[in-house]
Structure formats: C-alpha cells, structure tokens
Amino acid sequence: MKTKKIAMLGGGFIGDFYTHTLHGQRRQDRVQVIYSRSEDSAKKIAERWNIPKWTTNMEEAINDPDIDTVVIALPNHLHLEAVKRSAEAGKAVLVTKPLGRNAQESKEMLELVEKHNVFHGYLEDLCYTPKTLKSLESIKNGALGDILWVRSRETHPGPHSDWFWNPEFSGGGAIIDLGCHCIEIARNFIGKEVKPLEVMCWADTQVKPIQAEDHAIALVKYASGAIGQFEVSWCFRGGMDLRDEVMGVEGTMFLNHFLRTGLEVFTAVGEGDYVAEKAESATGWLFPVGDEVNALGYDFMFTDMFDAIDEGRSPMEDFYDGYIVNAIIDACYKSSKSKKWEPVELDIWRGSDEIRKGPKMVEFDEKYYLIKEEILPNGSKKLILKDKANGEIIQREI
Ligand SMILES: NC(=O)c1ccc[n+]([C@@H]2O[C@H](COP(=O)([O-])OP(=O)(O)OC[C@H]3O[C@@H](n4cnc5c(N)ncnc54)[C@H](O)[C@@H]3O)[C@@H](O)[C@H]2O)c1
C-alpha cells in the first residue's frame, strides 16, 4: 500500500469533508498542501487538519513536487481548468461531482486525462455509501433479478455558497447539483453497460428568486427497458433526504441513507451548532448521523480510489462515468424546455448497444405462459395464464 500525498484544491464545504475523511482516522494518506481562494480559509483548514502547507495559488499546489495526487473540490466552473493543469503535471486527479457543467466540458476532461495517461477518479460518494455497496453486491448476486425501476431522491433546503445559485458557475440548479448523484446511483443499480437512451424531465423554479430550477423530476429510459427516476429539490424543508428504491423482477429494496436512520434525539436547549449536513435546527427533535463521512460514502470512495491507483486499475467511478452523467443531465435540461422525450447524446459510448425487445416469457407448460400466481384469502391458488397459440388470457383456480 503506497501512501498518497495529496494537494487539496478547495478548502470549502467539501474540501473540509474530504480532508476529514483522509485525516480523521488512522490513514496513512495525507493532504500535504491545501489551496483555497482566500488566505484566511486556506490557513484555517490547514490548522484544523494539520496540513503542512497552504497556498492561494492553484498552480503552486498542483506542481508541488511533494504531491502525487490532486483532489479537486472547487466550484464547478473551475473543474476543467484544474483538471487540465493536473493532467499536464502528470498527477493522478480526483474530481468531485458534477464532473463538468455540461457534457462538452466533461468530454474535454476525459480526453485530457486519457491523452496524458493519468489516473482519473470521479468522486461520486453516494455510490459508495455502505448501504449502496451492500445493495449492489446483492443485486450482482441476482437477489432482485433484472432491474426494472430505480427511484433516487435527494432533496434539501438549498446549497450553502453563492456560486451554486448562479448557473454560469454551477451549470444549472438542483438537477446539476443533486440529479448528478441520483443519475449515477440509478446507473449503478441498472448496470453501467446499459445505454441510457432518452429523458423526460419536469423542472421549475418554485420558491427561490433564482434563474435556475429549484425542483425537478425526471425519467431516464435505458436500453434494457429499465427506468431511472429522480426527484431533486432545493425547496425541501427538514434537513437532507437521501433515499433510493430499487425494483427488480425478483425483488425490491428501499434505502434510506441520512434522515431518521436510527439516532433520534430531543433537546430543548441544544448542545452545539452543527447537527448533520443541511439540518435546519439545533434544538427540538434532531436526527444526527453517527458517522457522517462514512454514511455518505467518503471512506469507501477514497479507499477504492487509492487501491485502484496501487493496483493499476480503474476505480468504480471515473471520468467516463462523470461524462455519461453530464450527457444525461444535458438531455434533462433540453426536455424540461421542450416538454418532450429528448435523446441522450453520447459521442463516447463504451457499453453495450443491445436494446431489449419485450418481456421475458415464463414457461408454464406446453400450451401456456405463466403471467402470475396468487394465494387467495380462501386459501386457494389462482393462476393467470396466456395461451401461446392465440394469446388468450385465462385464469385457473386450484
Ligand atoms: N457530496 C458531494 O460530493 C459534494 C457535496 C458538496 C459539494 N460538492 C462539490 O464540491 C465542489 C465545491 O463545493 P463546496 O460545497 O465545497 O463549495 P464552497 O463554496 O464551500 O467552497 C469552494 C472552495 O473553492 C474555493 N474557490 C476558489 N476559487 C473560487 C471561486 N472563483 N469561486 C468560489 N470559490 C472558489 C473557495 O475558496 C473554497 O475553498 C463543487 O463542485 C460541488 O458540487 C460535492
């Protein structure tokens, strides 16, 4: 296991979370240099996490001879520039979500890291939560059969910094900020080799006085026939709601990652300011999260990234995934305006081109297919069958 020496670009909300993950437990990987826009915030985070060097010069952090890995935790409009400089410097590069503000930017980033042959990871933490990893393993082992529908929801009262609210810097509103998580969660459950075909999306600005959408719902149609559905909002009250549902031919899963997941506290007086990400109050009924960085997937994510570097393989999430997510988001924005299904335009596609034709028929006997069987309240069993020759649907009670 080789110790990673990291330049952390960005000392804001997520830079702090990432550094907490890396330095909070007994890991050997260290942030050696922190870059932040202001001297004050760079110094503060360096002191908080015992980081030897800080700078307000991005180039200096990337080119520091002591570092081998760059983690980009900057606002979305700076990802491309930071990736370009890191790839040219020959450093391994890990970027937070969303990879780009659109597919064009993501594609450029993917081409840059491939041209310079540097390791690239897409820091999509919500695909690495303990519950998601456990569920993905069960699905891989066939517990749910073929996946038909994934519903993924991320809603909260809105982001914590000015730049998120300006589409010029962020690339959009709740769809780009939260939908990117939901889309990639659904891709993991449906199968990343399955092509996303088209999108139908509703988006609106319901509450906040902004140009971008603060609420959206979308359906993403996949070549296997599966549907990915996402629900995202910056208007939701009561904290951060992160839930997924997966429906397969043979089973169902419900995942609740964050709100009301086991620790429920009532306090009339409070005991500190921070309860959990996006919590709206510090008194009354509270739902703190026991180990927030782990519940949100940051631990397993960095472990996979660094193991992948050591083993010379790709991580579970890389820039190609970030690019596909951006392409789906671009189609969402198109559909929300046209109010029609819009195709997902993929200049780069490395998965399967197979398209599902219809449902798999379940053989009952020589004459019939089985549609369904059910035990009735009177204890008898009812069979619904389809005649193979003429298509007639009949029922039989036994
Ligand atoms: N779950 C997650 O994976 C997750 C959660 C939150 C944010 N993010 C992502 O992390 C990135 C940073 O978000 P954040 O929440 O840390 O933001 P933030 O506003 O809290 O911090 C931004 C950091 O970038 C620095 N910076 C440098 N140039 C800047 C500029 N021109 N404008 C604004 N800041 C500048 C700031 O000094 C600050 O250190 C975004 O891409 C965001 O989508 C990911």
Q: Convert the pLDDT of each residue in 287-327 to its tens digit.
A: 999 899 999 999 999 999 999 999 999 999 999 999 999 99
CATH level 2 (architecture), domain 5-123: 3-Layer(aba) Sandwich (3.40)
Which amino acid is present at 190?
A: I
CA distances from 370 to 8, 363, 364, 375 (A): 57, 6, 5, 15
How much distance in Å is there from the Cα of 388 to the middle of ligand 1? 59
Spatial distance between the Cα atoms of 326 and 331, rounded to a whole number of angstroms: 9
Q: Which residues line ligand 1 (CB under 6 A)?
A: 10-15, 36-38, 41, 73-76, 78, 96-97, 125, 161, 163
pTM of the model: 0.96
How much distance in Å is there from the Cα of 173 to the middle of ligand 1? 15
Rounded to an integer, the average pLDDT of 130-148 is: 96
pLDDT of residue 34: 98
**DSSP state, 178?**
I
CATH number of 127-291+314-343: 3.30.360.10
Rounded to an integer, the average pLDDT of 239-252 is: 97
How much distance in Å is there from the Cα of 148 to the middle of ligand 1? 35
**Could you tell me the residue ranges of all domains in the chain?**
5-123, 127-291+314-343, 368-397
**Ligand 1, residues 19, 74, 298: which to mutate, most atoms within 8 A of Cβ?**
74
CA distances from 155 to 95, 173, 365 (A): 22, 12, 48
**Ligand 1, residues 96, 232, 277, 301: which to mutate, most atoms within 8 A of Cβ?**
96
How much distance in Å is there from the Cα of 78 to the middle of ligand 1? 9
Report the nearest-CA residue for atom 8 of ligand 1: 14
| pLDDT for residue 260 is more than 90 | no
